[in-house]
Amino acid sequence: MSQPPLSIVILAAGQGTRMRSTRPKVLHPVAGEPMLAHVLRTARSLSPEGIHVIYGHGGEAVRETLDAPDVSWVEQPEQLGTGHAVMQALPHIPDDHRVLVLCGDVPLVRRETLEPLIDAADGALALLTIELDDPSGYGRVLRDADGAVRAVVEDKDAAPEERTVREINTGVLCAAAGRFRGWLDRTDRNNAQGEYYLTDCIALAVAEGTLVCTAAATDPMEVQGVNNRQQLALVERAYQGRMAERLMTEGVTLLDPERLDVRGSLECGHDVVIDVGCVFEGTVVLGDHVTVGPYSVLRDTRLGDGSHIESHSVLEGVDSAGGNAIGPFARMRPGTRLASRAKIGNFVETKNTDVGEGSKINHLSYVGDTDVGRDVNIGAGTITCNYDGANKHRTVIGDGAFIGSDTQLVAPVKVGKGATIGAGSTIVRDTPDDQLTLSRSRQVSLPEWERPKKK
């Protein structure tokens, strides 16, 4: 027998006053993405018929940031509690659908934890709970002498003996839409918060004889809500801890798993080594035997087998073949492409540049909008002058060329194959193959000249 369709309601209308921020709470990032984006990804993994996000008055930024064809946005102009929030979504959901309620500020909940809860909600009200050593601030799950759930009481409404209960409500529950509709129609705001509590549905279900069952979460961080900056930091480190465990299980060496930040996707080949303090953003792919030195930042970058990144390097939008050496303190901007065995050294910046096989830009240079051939050596202090104040122009350096230190190549310009550019030159015209080209003033010495003296 097939299960009833599933609709998911995500509560994302809270103002988050304890965050002390002008940004809506659910847009604060975890691993580089808004908290709500993580919840939406988990919701989509359950293949629901519909996803309904409850957003608050003034929360248009939430909708603009995460709008998608599969998301229905429902405004809750007045924040009158979790029960009131679900009431706003129910008119859009058929009675026979199971409704899974998630929280937009609980970003680490996993599909594997939610699936048993959804299955248990067939003909019942299913509640996700967990036992905490310190349950302060959470609603307590109250059971009768036989262990059956009889109610959930919010922390502010709980009697002293009820506050000793360690099993807490996570805010995640599931039941048929028609049943939620009936229960919520009978709730009121006669409580310490003056709100419609979604958890009042539990006592109403028990009173009418509906089975209330629970599923247990095993990881407290999976159901950790975020209400302040401290909790945001806890969730961030928990996410990064998960990522570190996955990478090490797949064979990656992390020299300190607690000093890793992945803010996107990171795919690694065999025997990858990542040093401390590295940040990976967007989509990053590392081939076999890649090493990444400490405190480097890689964003939307692919590194081929055997590439080596020295410390404090920043790579963005880089596509690198195998066997490359980069850094330390290199900055490679979008559009940089390296053939195999290329070298980008310390304090070198590249942008929109192709570097040929075996070529070297060892130190203190800017090479932008340039085609660098094979086996080129670019000396220290070289600059490609690619911008004339209005337009960008391209420089082409032929195979085997040698560019002397402190050279300015004023684009558009082409350096011939095997050409040598003398140090200190400013090149404004194309240079021939296999010849020395230089531009310098005649060197003179002035025997009568005296250095100025301080007055």
Catalytic-labelled residue, pool 84, 289, 363, 393: 363
Burial 332-366 (b: 16+ CB within 10 A, else e): bbebbbbbbbbbbbbebbbbbbbbbbbbbbbbbbb
Q: Is 363 a catalytic residue?
A: yes
Pairing of the two strands 402-403 and 377-378: parallel
C-alpha–C-alpha distance, residues 207 and 100, integer Å = 22
Residue 142: name the closest of 220, 202, 209 by CA.
202
For residue 259, give the DSSP letter: S
C-alpha–C-alpha distance, residues 388 and 61, integer Å = 39
Peptide bond into 328 cis (omega under 30): yes
Pairing of the two strands 50-56 and 6-12: parallel
C-alpha–C-alpha distance, residues 243 and 265, integer Å = 10
Residue 157: name the closest of 179, 205, 189 by CA.
189
Pairing of the two strands 98-103 and 366-368: unpaired
Residue 14: name the closest of 141, 106, 90, 140 by CA.
106
C-alpha–C-alpha distance, residues 325 and 340, integer Å = 10
**Cα 187 versus chain centre, distance:** 39
Q: Which residues have a Cβ under 8 Å from the Cβ of 53 and sit 6 or more positions away?
A: 10, 12, 36, 40, 62, 63, 66, 71, 72, 73, 74, 104
Q: Residue 180 forms beta bridges with which residues? A: none
Place of tokens 């970058």: 301
Terminal CA-CA length for the chain:
100
Q: Which residues have a Cβ under 8 Å from the Cβ of 447 and sit 6 or more positions away?
A: none
Catalytic residues: 363
